[in-house]
């Protein structure tokens, strides 16, 4: 996945480059900065001494030393002092400079903390918005796996208003979740009773009768397989053409890589995961009904019995088709990303 959000310890994250939210001296400090210096070992400090510090919004690179990465990219975020002091532009520059250095070093993967959102006081929801916007812009023209590593839930905030709206939408769907569970119990209960009844009253078949039935079933199955509806791959490619999109636009907007899309294009019977199918539905800007149709081609359906599905439905019905925004919300509710 080109952009992902995970919860974990960035000092243990395996990738080509890890970004350090440093202070201007580059000689270590608290929070992420201190943790990275401790994990990388004393050799990192020695290299940093020769860099002459770093200006806010800029980035410098060192070796990874004892950390499981090739490089550590040190960037100095702005200290929050209000919205009118140029902090946003400086924070954007932190991400842009770090990604440019990673590209220069030939990195295929990079992990970021949420820069300036700790001791520097940048509001977490605003810091997240900047991070996602700059990473998204970078990925429009570049191929790299970018991960935002969040240490704990307290350091991640999608904004109270959005969180509240989604929670309200989920609450409104609770009755549907109960109804869905009841329906499933009734269906499977009826299915079980039907099987018991059929088994009790089933006649004894002869070998000849069984052979005749097998022949009839084979003929029916052959007829059915020749009249199959379009597959997931076929519908996806058709929708891309109808939207006037390119393949690259589609898989990038879906936050998927070229290799996965190539598999889908080359195999008419390709069966994606449900979240992959949903990601392409979002990329294409499909309506709720169209999304259900695309999902059905892969053997899935959006259901009110799944909180993840309800969250995705919320954004589709709102006409919000930004995969990064949807994934932020899914992460905030501890659900798997698309």
Is 218 part of any domain? no
Q: Is residue 113 part of a domain?
A: yes
The span from the CA of 292 to the CA of 186, in Å, is 23
Q: Is residue 242 part of a domain?
A: no
Question: Structural domain of residue 147, as residue ranges?
Answer: 3-157
Residue 296 CB-density burial (10 A; 0-12 exposed, 13-18 middle, 19+ buried)? middle
86-140: per-residue pLDDT in tens?
999 999 999 999 999 999 999 999 999 999 998 999 999 999 999 999 999 999 9
- Asked if the structure places residue 202 within a domain, the reply is no
The number of folded domains in the chain is 1
Model pTM?
0.82
Residue 85 banded pLDDT, cuts 50, 70, 90: confident
Which residues in 159-183 are b (16+ Cβ under 10 Å) and which e? beebeeebeebbeebeeebeeeeee
- Is 70 exceeded by the pLDDT of residue 336? yes
Residue 222 lies in a domain: no
In a domain, 332, yes or no: no
In a domain, 236, yes or no: no
What pLDDT score does 225 carry? 47
Q: How confident is the model at residue 243 (pLDDT cuts 50, 70, 90)?
A: very high
Q: Answer yes or no: is 12 within a domain.
A: yes
In CATH, what number is assigned to the domain containing residue 108?
Answer: 3.40.220.10
């Amino acid at each position: 996945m080109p952009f992902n959000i995970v919860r974990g310890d960035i000092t243990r994250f395996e990738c080509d480059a890890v970004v350090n939210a440093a202070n201007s001296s580059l000689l270590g400090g608290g929070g992420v900065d201190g943790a990275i210096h401790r994990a990388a070992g004393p050799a990192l400090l020695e290299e940093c001494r020769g860099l002459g510090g770093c200006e806010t919004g800029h980035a410098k690179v060192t070796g990874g030393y004892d950390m499981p990465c090739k490089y550590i990219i040190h960037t100095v975020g702005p200290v929050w002092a209000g919205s009118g002091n140029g902090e946003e532009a400086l924070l954007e520059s932190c991400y842009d400079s770090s990604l440019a250095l990673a590209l220069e070093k030939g990195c295929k993967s990079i992990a970021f903390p949420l820069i300036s959102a700790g001791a520097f006081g940048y509001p977490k929801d605003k810091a997240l918005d900047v991070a996602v916007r700059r990473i998204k812009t970078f990925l429009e023209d570049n191929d790299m796996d970018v991960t935002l590593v969040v240490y704990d839930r307290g350091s991640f905030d999608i904004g109270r208003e959005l969180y509240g709206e989604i929670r309200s939408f989920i609450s409104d769907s609770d009755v549907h979740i109960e109804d869905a569970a009841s329906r499933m119990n009734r269906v499977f209960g009826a299915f079980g009773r039907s099987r018991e009844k059929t088994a009790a009253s089933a006649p004894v078949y002869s070998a000849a009768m069984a052979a005749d039935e097998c022949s009839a079933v084979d003929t029916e199955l052959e007829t059915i397989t020749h009249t199959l509806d379009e597959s997931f791959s076929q519908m996806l490619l058709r929708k891309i053409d109808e939207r006037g999109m390119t393949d690259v636009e589609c898989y990038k907007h879906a936050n998927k890589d070229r290799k996965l899309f190539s598999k889908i294009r080359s195999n008419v019977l390709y069966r994606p995961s449900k979240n992959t199918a949903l990601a392409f539905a979002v990329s294409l800007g499909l309506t709720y009904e169209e999304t259900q149709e695309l999902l059905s081609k892969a053997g899935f359906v959006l259901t009110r019995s799944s909180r993840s599905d309800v969250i995705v439905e919320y954004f589709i019905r709102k006409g919000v088709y930004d995969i990064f925004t949807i994934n932020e919300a899914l992460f905030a509710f501890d659900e798997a990303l698309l």
